[in-house]
Chains A and B, each alone.
Chain A
Amino acid sequence: MKSSLLRLCSLAVFLGAAALGCKPKNTSDAISGDAASKVYVAPGKYDEFYNFVSGGFNGQMSVYGLPSGRLLKIVPIFSVFPENGYGYSEETKPMLNTSHGFVPWDDQHHLELSQTEGKIDGRWIFANANNTPRIARVDLTTFKTAEILELPNSAGNHSSPFITENTEYVVAGTRFAVPMDDQNGDVPINTLRKNFKSSISFISVNKDSGTMSLAFQLRLPPIDFDLSHSGKGPSHDWFFFSTYNTEQANTLLEVNASQRDKDFILAVNWKKLEAYVKSGKGRTESAKYAHNIYNEQTHSATSTIENKVLAIDAQDLKDICYYIPCPKSPHGCDVDPTGEYIVGSGKLAALIPVFSFTKIQKAIATKDFIGTYEGIPVIKYESALYGEVQKPGLGPLHTEFDGRGNAITTMFVSSEIVKWNIKDLKVIDRKPTYYSPGHLSIPGGDTRSPNGKYVIVYNKITKDRYLPTGPELAQAAQLFDITGDKMKLLLDFPTVGEPHYAQAVEASLIKDKSVKFFKLEDNKHPYATLGEKNAKVVRNGKRVDIYITEIRSHFTPDNIEGIKMGDQVYWHMTNLEQDWDVPHGFAIKSAANTAELLVMPGETQTLYWTPEKPGIYPFYCTDFCSALHQEMQGYVRVSPENSNTPLSFSTGTNLPDSANTPQYLKENLN
């Protein structure tokens, strides 16, 4: 009895040990010994790559260094940024203007660096706004948003901003089918199939200035666009878009848009489309959309409302658009560096289909179609297919390429990345990620020439990765070394916002072009104060313009009197510094409905202020500029509306009245 009890106990211990041994290994096991040294960037040294990461629901773009994962900057694009006054200063408010008025927030999903001949040229980066459909261009010499273009006839601008190989066009496909802007939108929701349409916007980009313009919109049947990528090399003339909801459901899409076994990848011959548009096909429709441009000389943005758009119907064009069946609501639509293979990632599929551009061309030539979908030919799946990656994992979402003939795909459901060979479609390696990856990024990984050193994976679920911070957590990103056959986890770092797509590029392409400060002599701001002797306060009825300067460590003027209740006060702040990294800030006590200004050297920015009651309002510099930064302060006096306080302003001359000098100061005790 005793011995059988002992035996039972030892069996239990054995089983327990075996069960522990079987438990999946955790991350600490996944990191190899030399990982730390591979991501260590010594103090004072630069990272090798810039990583531009979309901010998702924060509406901004963040810039990281790789391989260290250090956050270098947040560039405000579609959301106000009180930290530097973006969207609060008079100069930047027009950037967030839309045909619906001032929109202070958006959801920023995808980024695309400008390219020349299929390679990243380091000039601009394009960003999409999902909620109020817009495309932005960020200048990579100043890391500032240079332009924002609103898109009419679009809703949920998700399938953007993907570009052609020479940045000829930025495309933007709509996520929601909607009634067109020039039609009556007051229709029953369930008349989607009759009254709604989907559009793809083609935005042309000026080769030299980068200025965008909405060239034309392609109208398509009301199915939802998800993602996109342009062709490369041999497929240069083509664009590929993933779609879902070919069921054309308008409710419970979770179920109703997942009914059919296959949705589509739409192939568009944009080169031919461009020729059609140039030959005069297409019609002008009325539309209303904002076009906002930031001028680097006046340091100000202007917002123009455009009122027409050129539209062209896909059904009318017999040799432009083709649907390719693709399993289960494809998400990512990625073209390999050679331009031959198009990878569709069906998020509910158990395989990854790889399409062949050559076979697609052949199928089009031989009219190898299974029918038409609302007038658009549907190519036979097998005729377009190069092959399928079998059992890659669960929930394939996005694919990038390493430039050595391999693809890496994120698997949302099985929470891993999978490396596979494009030619033989065999899985080479798989590594867990923490947890549920969305997008991934390899430097140049969606261009003709990737730099297959690292992949960064942006996960959607964070859970236990970092010290807990309450219910809301940072998002987790992981960096892998992909130079060998086996991918190696090197680093795990938190990110801001919720990253979706990202771009990475060699730092050498960008860092030396970075602007250090703005030249004062180039400052063409109408309210610039170029020198302290030009500082002044000008009243024009209720409007008061304060021409004020900042230089270490004082304002000119720093004593202002004669402001009255009901005045509209414009503080035109010019930073007179002409050196690197000497911004000055500006904040006034309790200023309502605005933020601070952060003014770069040589720049002028304006804070609009309407004082709410008479009194003394202190103001000061908010950016620690010098040893005497704390002394960089001033006073403005606000008097009642009917008072006779004369307008006066000065620095250094409005001395304290001597009658009230404390004895201590009189005796000059020290």
Chain B
Amino acid sequence: MQKKYFLPRYVSLLLICCSLLIFAVLFFPFWHIELQAPQYPEGLILLIYANKLSGDVDIINGLNHYIGMKTLHTADFYEFQVLPYCIIFFAVAFIIVAIVRKRKWLNILFAVFIFFGVISMIDFWKWNYNYGHHLNPNAPIIVPGMAYQPPILGYKQLLNFGAYSMPDVGGWIFISVGIILLGLVLISNRKNKPS
């Protein structure tokens, strides 16, 4: 019978740090879309939090009516109800793994975390697609091809607006936590292979 293997202490410590970071995501925007146009030298910004849309939502909605895009309202997105719980779930899960200190648990946590990230991005893309492909045909300005999908990452130009979509503080925290987690998984699976 092989002696029970526990992950090193520093792994627990890092996992607890990650948990705190994830918890902080509740209070920072996850993602943002910056809009720039000649008439908006100061720029407009759409901030996506775990539980709400913020920034210049009203101004952006006012402009969207020209191309017939549906207006954005926090209440229209069920995600904003669910996301805070997902974040709390991860914050707690990281702590549990830090306490249990099992490699298997760490691997599962990593898998779930990555799965969550991928699903989130797909969901985000899907929303962008829906908003961008359901333009009101009676709108004053008919967008060529009747489709304008905002980018989920990076830059895209539409008429006089340039849209720049990037992770915000919360997003970067998630990415950093993912990288740390990946590192921990790699290290613990290589160094301490059960013989």
User: CB within 8 Å of B: which residues of A?
Assistant: 551-553, 577-579, 626-628, 631
Contact B58 A578 (CB under 8 A): yes
* Residues of A contacting B62 in the complex (Cβ-Cβ under 8 angstroms): 551-552, 577, 579
Query: Once bound together, how far apart are the Cα atoms of A628 and B141, in whole Å?
Result: 10
Query: Once bound together, how far apart are the Cα atoms of A628 and B62, in whole Å?
Result: 13
- Is B140 in contact with chain A by the CB < 8 A criterion? yes
Contact B59 A627 (CB under 8 A): no
User: CB within 8 Å of A: which residues of B?
Assistant: 58-59, 62, 66, 140-141
Query: Once bound together, how far apart are the Cα atoms of A292 and B123, in whole Å?
Result: 58
Cβ-defined partner of B66 (8 Å) among A577, A578, A579, A628: A628
Q: Report how many A-B pairs have Cβ atoms within 8 Å.
A: 15
Q: Closest approach, in angstroms, between the C-beta of B107 and any C-beta of chain A? A: 50
* Residues of B contacting A626 in the complex (Cβ-Cβ under 8 angstroms): 66
By beta carbon, the residue of chain B nearest A652 is: B138
By beta carbon, the residue of chain B nearest A579 is: B59
* Residues of A contacting B141 in the complex (Cβ-Cβ under 8 angstroms): 627
By beta carbon, the residue of chain A nearest B42 is: A580
Q: Closest approach, in angstroms, between the C-beta of A82 and any C-beta of chain B? A: 27
* Residues of B contacting A631 in the complex (Cβ-Cβ under 8 angstroms): 140
Q: Closest approach, in angstroms, between the C-beta of B178 and any C-beta of chain A? A: 37
Contact B140 A628 (CB under 8 A): yes
By beta carbon, the residue of chain B nearest A576 is: B62
Query: Once bound together, how far apart are the Cα atoms of A631 and B62, in whole Å?
Result: 16
Contact A627 B58 (CB under 8 A): no
Query: Once bound together, how far apart are the Cα atoms of A95 and B59, in whole Å?
Result: 33
- Which of B58, B62, B66, B140 is the most central at the interface, judged by chain A CB atoms within 10 Å of its CB? B62
Contact B59 A578 (CB under 8 A): yes
Q: Which 3 A-B pairs have the closest CB atoms?
A: A579-B59, A628-B140, A578-B58
* Residues of A contacting B59 in the complex (Cβ-Cβ under 8 angstroms): 578-579
By beta carbon, the residue of chain A nearest B63 is: A552
* Residues of B contacting A628 in the complex (Cβ-Cβ under 8 angstroms): 66, 140
Query: Once bound together, how far apart are the Cα atoms of A578 and B63, in whole Å?
Result: 12
Query: Once bound together, how far apart are the Cα atoms of A628 and B58, in whole Å?
Result: 19
Q: Closest approach, in angstroms, between the C-beta of B170 and any C-beta of chain A? A: 26
* Majority secondary structure, A binding face: loop
Query: Once bound together, how far apart are the Cα atoms of A552 and B141, in whole Å?
Result: 13
Sample of 15 A–B contacts (CB below 8 Å)? A551-B62, A552-B62, A553-B140, A577-B62, A578-B58, A578-B59, A579-B59, A579-B62, A626-B66, A627-B66, A627-B140, A627-B141, A628-B66, A628-B140, A631-B140
Q: Closest approach, in angstroms, between the C-beta of A554 and any C-beta of chain B? A: 10
By beta carbon, the residue of chain A nearest B56 is: A579
* Residues of B contacting A577 in the complex (Cβ-Cβ under 8 angstroms): 62
* Residues of B contacting A578 in the complex (Cβ-Cβ under 8 angstroms): 58-59
By beta carbon, the residue of chain A nearest B138 is: A652
By beta carbon, the residue of chain A nearest B44 is: A579
By beta carbon, the residue of chain B nearest A626 is: B66
Q: Closest approach, in angstroms, between the C-beta of B194 and any C-beta of chain A? A: 63
* Residues of A contacting B66 in the complex (Cβ-Cβ under 8 angstroms): 626-628
Query: Once bound together, how far apart are the Cα atoms of A578 and B56, in whole Å?
Result: 10
Query: Once bound together, how far apart are the Cα atoms of A631 and B141, in whole Å?
Result: 13
* Residues of B contacting A552 in the complex (Cβ-Cβ under 8 angstroms): 62
Query: Once bound together, how far apart are the Cα atoms of A631 and B66, in whole Å?
Result: 13
Q: Closest approach, in angstroms, between the C-beta of B43 and any C-beta of chain A? A: 12
Query: Once bound together, how far apart are the Cα atoms of A551 and B59, in whole Å?
Result: 11
Query: Once bound together, how far apart are the Cα atoms of A631 and B140, in whole Å?
Result: 10
Q: Closest approach, in angstroms, between the C-beta of B57 and any C-beta of chain A? A: 11
* Residues of A contacting B58 in the complex (Cβ-Cβ under 8 angstroms): 578
Q: Closest approach, in angstroms, between the C-beta of A532 and any C-beta of chain B? A: 12
Query: Once bound together, how far apart are the Cα atoms of A552 and B62, in whole Å?
Result: 8
By beta carbon, the residue of chain B nearest A628 is: B140
By beta carbon, the residue of chain A nearest B39 is: A581
By beta carbon, the residue of chain A nearest B140 is: A628
* Residues of A contacting B140 in the complex (Cβ-Cβ under 8 angstroms): 553, 627-628, 631
11 extra interchain contacts, Cβ-Cβ under 8 A, other than A552-B62, A627-B141, A628-B140? A551-B62, A553-B140, A578-B58, A578-B59, A579-B59, A579-B62, A626-B66, A627-B66, A627-B140, A628-B66, A631-B140
* Residues of B contacting A579 in the complex (Cβ-Cβ under 8 angstroms): 59, 62
Q: Closest approach, in angstroms, between the C-beta of A44 and any C-beta of chain B? A: 8
* Residues of B contacting A553 in the complex (Cβ-Cβ under 8 angstroms): 140
By beta carbon, the residue of chain B nearest A578 is: B58
Query: Once bound together, how far apart are the Cα atoms of A628 and B59, in whole Å?
Result: 16
Query: Once bound together, how far apart are the Cα atoms of A552 and B60, in whole Å?
Result: 12
Q: Closest approach, in angstroms, between the C-beta of B161 and any C-beta of chain A? A: 13
Q: Closest approach, in angstroms, between the C-beta of A511 and any C-beta of chain B? A: 14
By beta carbon, the residue of chain B nearest A581 is: B39
* Residues of B contacting A627 in the complex (Cβ-Cβ under 8 angstroms): 66, 140-141
By beta carbon, the residue of chain B nearest A627 is: B66
Q: Closest approach, in angstroms, between the C-beta of A30 and any C-beta of chain B? A: 39
Q: Closest approach, in angstroms, between the C-beta of B44 and any C-beta of chain A? A: 9
By beta carbon, the residue of chain A nearest B41 is: A44
Query: Once bound together, how far apart are the Cα atoms of A628 and B139, in whole Å?
Result: 12
Q: Closest approach, in angstroms, between the C-beta of B112 and any C-beta of chain A? A: 42
Query: Once bound together, how far apart are the Cα atoms of A578 and B61, in whole Å?
Result: 11
- Which of A552, A579, A628, A631 is the most central at the interface, judged by chain B CB atoms within 10 Å of its CB? A579
By beta carbon, the residue of chain B nearest A631 is: B140
Q: Closest approach, in angstroms, between the C-beta of A653 and any C-beta of chain B? A: 13
By beta carbon, the residue of chain B nearest A577 is: B62
Query: Once bound together, how far apart are the Cα atoms of A626 and B39, in whole Å?
Result: 10
Q: Closest approach, in angstroms, between the C-beta of A553 and any C-beta of chain B? A: 8
By beta carbon, the residue of chain B nearest A553 is: B140
Query: Once bound together, how far apart are the Cα atoms of A362 and B58, in whole Å?
Result: 68
Query: Once bound together, how far apart are the Cα atoms of A577 and B62, in whole Å?
Result: 8
* Residues of B contacting A551 in the complex (Cβ-Cβ under 8 angstroms): 62
Query: Once bound together, how far apart are the Cα atoms of A626 and B58, in whole Å?
Result: 16
By beta carbon, the residue of chain A nearest B160 is: A627
Query: Once bound together, how far apart are the Cα atoms of A663 and B170, in whole Å?
Result: 59
Query: Once bound together, how far apart are the Cα atoms of A169 and B58, in whole Å?
Result: 44
Query: Once bound together, how far apart are the Cα atoms of A28 and B66, in whole Å?
Result: 53
Q: Closest approach, in angstroms, between the C-beta of A3 and any C-beta of chain B? A: 77
Query: Once bound together, how far apart are the Cα atoms of A436 and B140, in whole Å?
Result: 58
Q: Closest approach, in angstroms, between the C-beta of A628 and any C-beta of chain B? A: 6
Query: Once bound together, how far apart are the Cα atoms of A552 and B66, in whole Å?
Result: 9
Query: Once bound together, how far apart are the Cα atoms of A568 and B122, in whole Å?
Result: 59
By beta carbon, the residue of chain A nearest B59 is: A579
Q: Closest approach, in angstroms, between the C-beta of A564 and any C-beta of chain B? A: 34
By beta carbon, the residue of chain B nearest A552 is: B62
Query: Once bound together, how far apart are the Cα atoms of A551 and B62, in whole Å?
Result: 9
Query: Once bound together, how far apart are the Cα atoms of A75 and B25, in whole Å?
Result: 48
Query: Once bound together, how far apart are the Cα atoms of A43 and B166, in whole Å?
Result: 31
By beta carbon, the residue of chain A nearest B58 is: A578
Query: Once bound together, how far apart are the Cα atoms of A578 and B141, in whole Å?
Result: 22
Q: Closest approach, in angstroms, between the C-beta of B173 and any C-beta of chain A? A: 31
Q: Closest approach, in angstroms, between the C-beta of A520 and any C-beta of chain B? A: 10
Query: Once bound together, how far apart are the Cα atoms of A553 and B62, in whole Å?
Result: 10
Query: Once bound together, how far apart are the Cα atoms of A9 and B44, in whole Å?
Result: 78
Query: Once bound together, how far apart are the Cα atoms of A627 and B66, in whole Å?
Result: 9
Q: Closest approach, in angstroms, between the C-beta of B168 and any C-beta of chain A? A: 22
Query: Once bound together, how far apart are the Cα atoms of A63 and B140, in whole Å?
Result: 39
Q: Closest approach, in angstroms, between the C-beta of A597 and any C-beta of chain B? A: 21
Query: Once bound together, how far apart are the Cα atoms of A577 and B59, in whole Å?
Result: 8
By beta carbon, the residue of chain A nearest B65 is: A552
By beta carbon, the residue of chain A nearest B159 is: A627
Q: Closest approach, in angstroms, between the C-beta of B187 and any C-beta of chain A? A: 51
Query: Once bound together, how far apart are the Cα atoms of A187 and B66, in whole Å?
Result: 70
